[in-house]
Structure 1
Amino acid sequence: MINKLSIIIPAFNEARTIALVLEKIKEVELINNIEKEVIIINDASTDNTEETIRTYQNNNPELTILYFSQQINMGKGAALNRAIQETSGEYLVVQDADLEYDPKEYNTLLQPVVDGVADVVYGSRFQGGNPHRVLFFWHTLGNKFLTFLSNMLTNLNLTDMETGYKLIKTPIAKSLNLREKRFGFEPEVTAKIAKVKDIRIYEVGISYYGRTYADGKKVCWKDGFRAIYCIIKFNLF
């Protein structure tokens, strides 16, 4: 049973797109009249991200937005860890502040939960039938390698461990004791979810509207090596 979905957004210098993302979230009508709660963690942005969020919040009171600001930039993982603790919905979903993932697909993620079969749902960019911007070959190869390595150690058969769309039962998310502060969040949360007894994990296909570095993409090759470290650390130690 789910009455409320908590949508958590880590934001760092996303003034150009954050209002568009919030508008997309507002326009989505969730199945079964599920309520929406948006939790934004501004990770010490140096542009006018905060002003943009505040303006949108004031002009759109019908969308519940809880806003928190970190005084020091601590990374995406740290922002997500903070946001998870502020949630009140039965389930939560991570929403990046850019436009790579489409909130219209929340219902796709929610369907296995509404059907009563899932505790966690991953949105895979690599399952067919969905729009997928054609971008970096080596990024795609790297993502598939990280998923393969993660699957070896978790004994899961995910196609996209690094996806930004993860829908998780809130009590489970709050119990995971997540520690990674940057982009190691994805392999860490996957490793710890896989260890939860009798957990039901599903995967659904989603669209992906990737960004280039000129568009503001932040993940780089160093984060790939950190992900390998996190996969080994959180699965074996």
Structure 2
Amino acid sequence: MQSTTLVIIPAYNEAATIGQVIKNIKRWCDADILVVNDGSTDGTSATARAEKVTVIDLPCNLGIGGAMQTGYRYACRYGYEFAVQVDADGQHDPRFIDTLVQPLLAGKADMVIGSRYMEDGDYRGSLARRAGSRFFSFLLKLLTGQAIYDTTSGFRAVNRRVLAYFIRHYPPDYPEVEVIMQLLRQGYRLKEIPVAMYPRKGGHSSITLLRSVYYMLKVSLAVVISYLR
């Protein structure tokens, strides 16, 4: 029997971690699992398939935006009520998946963001990442009046209303902050709850110094443009 919740795992060259991530999700929740293999050149797809979950193999690397929109389209096509994004590198604690979905079930939010920064926890991350998140938090608060502490968190859950929006409107490049602005401007209700996160268990971050500069400029401009629309 199909679950009402789909966990979407976008994955690019995460063969070292994807198997354990899937096992942990199965341990803590009964949701269906979809791995979107984003043009990986390692054994990501085979490792995920060995765990008996659905895998979509993209023919080339589209980036996180294209991978997630693929997952959202799948969720809408097969009638899921909720979708939860979980990273393939082991940073997100699957014990919190049901916690993220609860406000959606209760009709209290359209998207729920899992936050590393709402409470004092073990997660620290790099100084650059914390500074970037704080900057975007400040920018969103300035433009919308709503405080979002972990603007770059990819651990988030959405309901069917947001799924229908995302299959039409989803940024292809660094979408996390931009979609917050988009949803707030469209009148969707966002809620943030504290969760546990951990350093990546394997692989390497794609964010280099040059990409960090591009990221800050691109996302800041996209947020302002979304606000002005």
Report the TM-score, using the length of structure 1 for normalisation: 0.85
* Cα distance change on mapping 1:114 and 1:208 into 2, 3 Å: same
Tell me if 1:119 matches 2:145.
no
Query: Retained in 2: the 8 A contact 1:147–1:162?
Result: no
Q: Residue 223 of structure 2: which of 216, 225, 231 is its match?
A: 231
Distance 2:216 2:18 in 1: 26
Tell me if 1:148 matches 2:138.
yes
Distance 2:140 2:102 in 1: 25
Q: Which runs of 5+ in 1 are unaligned?
A: 30-34, 58-64
Query: Retained in 2: the 8 A contact 1:129–1:205?
Result: no
Match of 2:64 in 1: 76
Aligned identity (percent) is 26
Q: Which runs of 5+ in 2 are unaligned?
A: none
Match of 1:200 in 2: 189
C-alpha RMSD of the superposition: 2.0
* 1:7-26 deviations in Å (ceiling 9; x for gaps): 11111000000001100110
Tell me if 1:38 matches 2:42.
no
Distance 1:172 1:135 in 2: 29
* Cα distance change on mapping 1:166 and 1:180 into 2, 3 Å: same
Distance 2:33 2:144 in 1: 31
Letter in 2 for 1:52: T
Tell me if 1:52 matches 2:43.
no
Match of 1:131 in 2: 122
Distance 1:235 1:152 in 2: 11
Shift of 1:146: 1.3
Task: Give structure 1 regions of 4+ aligned residues with deviation exceeding 3 angstroms.
Answer: none
Which SS does the other structure have where 1:175 is aligned? Answer: helix
Segment drifting more, 89-98 vs 150-159: 150-159
Report the TM-score, using the length of structure 2 for normalisation: 0.87
Match of 1:60 in 2: none
Q: How many residues align?
A: 219
Distance 1:156 1:219 in 2: 27
Shift of 1:166: 1.4
Which SS does the other structure have where 1:68 is aligned? Answer: strand
Distance 1:94 1:154 in 2: 24
Query: Retained in 2: the 8 A contact 1:37–1:89?
Result: no
Match of 1:21 in 2: 21
Match of 1:181 in 2: 172
* 1:101-123 deviations in Å (ceiling 9; x for gaps): 11111122123234442222111
Q: Residue 90 of structure 1: which of 81, 84, 87 is its match?
A: 81
Match of 2:101 in 1: 110
Shift of 1:200: 2.7
Shift of 1:76: 0.6
